[in-house]
Structure 1
Amino acid sequence: MPETSLVTARERAVALLGGEPDDATLRRYLHGIPGVDAVGLEQRAAGLGTRSIKTSSKAWALDRIISLIDLTTLEGADTPGKVRSLVAKAVNPDPADATTPRVAAVCVYGDMVPYAVEALGDAHGDPDAGGVSVAAVATAFPSGRASLEIKLADTAEAVAAGADEIDMVIDRGAFLAGRYGLVFDQIAAVKQACLRPDGTSASLKVILETGELVTYDNVRRASWLSILAGGDFIKTSTGKVQPAATLPVTLLMLEVVRDWHLLTGQRIGVKPAGGIRASKDAVKYLVTVAETVGEEWLQPHLFRFGASSLLNDVLLQRQKLRTGHYSGADYVTID
């Protein structure tokens, strides 16, 4: 669960860094992390992508994918009615089959949060317990080009409106210019803005926009930086920049999460977002998670799919499986 105290995250960062998280200290730490073997990473991802699951696991895999989806609408033309329709699908993805699980969350712009909360009603709750969360993109999504004051106001407004999760974007320009201290401070400040008056906190997902970071080394450094600053999740993409989520990048981020857990005992979530549309591809991510950090990560507070169209394909495959008109080739190699 998200830490409710910023002090905890900052104190841990200071202890690990051996000093305050300024540009010099963070540069020394982040650039001291071994470089990524790109060939090896892509080979590992390709190998995991060819792994099969047992026939008896087909139904489990499809249901698990549904339960990990952040059903998303992030368009300038979004309306309260569109958000209500999204919520209806999130709560009851397949009206013809009451056994279909709910998705983990609906992800909307901050001004749409009140409509999502209202539409969810009693279904609004912890996705680990069968509820549906409300996630809001914030901090001048998708560019991140705004003052810190505006970013914090954006975040605080969404949390006050009932958002359970905040998906923030890092300042990629600052990161690429080596201004690591600035990026750290902004993430830490947004984490503080996620606090509620009762002492609880919205979960903070930090979007790296990996398509703009260009190199695997940058992705690894940005992942470490985001976790050091207090992020509860690291997320690949806004879905507005290509390439968005890829299996090698997600594998790399999972390896960072694994190493962080070994170092500190803290579990951090990972969210690939953008471009994952087919069940067969989503299964590859499930296998990669299980083989890299363990099956315990395959639950909503530790792994999500950011998607708008993936659910439709999963439901189609689920219907084929239920009616017997299913071919394993439709979505994954089967043992």
Structure 2
Amino acid sequence: MQTISATGTLPQTVEPRNPGTALDLDWVMRATANRSAIERRAATLPARRSVKKDHQAAWLARAVSCIDLTTLAGDDTVGRVRRLCAKAKQPVRADLLEAIGLPDLTVGAVCVYHDMIAPAVEALDGSGIPVAAVSTGFPAGLSPFHLRVQEIKESVAAGAAEIDIVISRRHVLTGNWQALYDEMRTFRDACGDAHVKAILATGELGTLSNVAKASLICMMAGADFIKTSTGKESVNATLPVSLVMIRAIRDFYDATGYRVGYKPAGGISKAKDAITYLALIKEELGDRWLRPDLFRFGASSLLGDIERQIEHHVTGAYSASWRHAMA
């Protein structure tokens, strides 16, 4: 089986970091989305892209290396976070990883609320796995603006190497593009050296054209990643939305030379879905984006199904899902 690098390094340590650009409203207003064509393109992927045997195991291992293993529940405890971090360092049973030739495979990051940053940083010390924190009044993003900015600064000071911010959806829905740009730029500046992912909450933006415009503006304002969802909306990551955002990333790279990462989040729980998203990235952006510094899944239950599929590949038998608990 082909060996896969599972390095969970941050984008700014591998690629020149996206510094952002001036707001180009002409470019933003030219951004449109043909829904019927996008949906036709997205519909071809699950039916057309199928990999088997060693190739499937390799793709699934790559998916593991790109997971932001996440717990964002009101009843999170220090013990739960520590167990989740242990799972992040050993995401698949050791004998299975040995069998596929990837004994050092880890996930891309662990994502928690601010109060859980310290125990996560402690539990991951020496592993090379970064801690990501959701911020800016997650998930609604409606707390006072100065508190959202301060929350970012406090999470960075607590040890978070990645910050997942939420944009104000009202700026998109009312077409206040300058306000969205200014907000994102302020968040980016508050993050300092921390890697910033801009959550668009695409299920609440109304149209695919709005998704395209918001994607461009967040990249113009310096986002390291753009992300579909908080996972708390009624509609989260979908293939049509992903296609729009990925093509915005491609256009931004063509225009500026800076690579911006992509993170679909919410509703991706099956191994076969993970492979579909990876195939979409490969076809639209190329192999360079198939690494954890430029692609992440926002997921937790996804890892359990991937582990079951890898066990089936190695042993020929499926195990019960309860044997692959996350924490």
TM-score under structure 1 length normalisation: 0.85
Map of 1:115 onto structure 2: 119
**CA–CA separation in structure 2 for the residues paired with 1:133 and 1:178:** 35
Cα deviation code 1:151-188 (max 9, x no counterpart):
11100011011111000000001221122211111111
Of 305, 312, 326, the residue aligned with 1:320 is 312
Matched residues, number = 298
Cα deviation code 1:267-288 (max 9, x no counterpart):
0000000000000111000100
Cα deviation code 1:62-115 (max 9, x no counterpart):
100100000000011111111111101111123443526211000000111111
**1:182 has 2:179 as partner:** yes
Q: Secondary structure at the match of 2:137?
A: coil
**Shift in CA distance, 8/302, structure 1 to aligned 2, threshold 3 Å:** closer
Map 1:1-335 → 2, pairs under 5 A: 1-2=11-12, 9=19, 12-14=21-23, 17=24, 26=25, 28-33=26-31, 35-50=32-47, 51-53=49-51, 55-97=53-95, 98=97, 99=103, 101-123=105-127, 125=128, 132-195=129-192, 201-325=193-317
Unpaired runs of at least 5, structure 1: 18-25, 126-131, 196-200, 327-335
Q: Secondary structure at the match of 1:234?
A: strand
**CA–CA separation in structure 1 for the residues paired with 2:244 and 2:45:** 13
Q: Secondary structure at the match of 1:241?
A: coil
TM-score under structure 2 length normalisation: 0.87
Q: Secondary structure at the match of 2:222?
A: coil
* Conserved? CA contact 1:94–1:100, under 8 Å: no
Q: 1:324 Cα shift? A: 2.3
Q: Secondary structure at the match of 2:159?
A: coil
Q: Percent identity?
A: 47
* Conserved? CA contact 2:18–2:224, under 8 Å: no
Cα deviation code 1:249-293 (max 9, x no counterpart):
111111111111111111000000000000011100010000000
* Conserved? CA contact 2:18–2:259, under 8 Å: no
Q: 1:140 Cα shift? A: 0.3
Coordinate RMSD, CA, aligned: 1.7
Q: Secondary structure at the match of 1:103?
A: coil
**CA–CA separation in structure 1 for the residues paired with 2:316 and 2:152:** 47
Which aligned runs of 4 or more in structure 1 are off by greater than 4 angstroms? Answer: none
Q: Which amino acid aligns with 1:66?
A: V
Q: Which amino acid aligns with 1:37?
A: N
Unpaired runs of at least 5, structure 2: 1-10, 98-102, 319-327
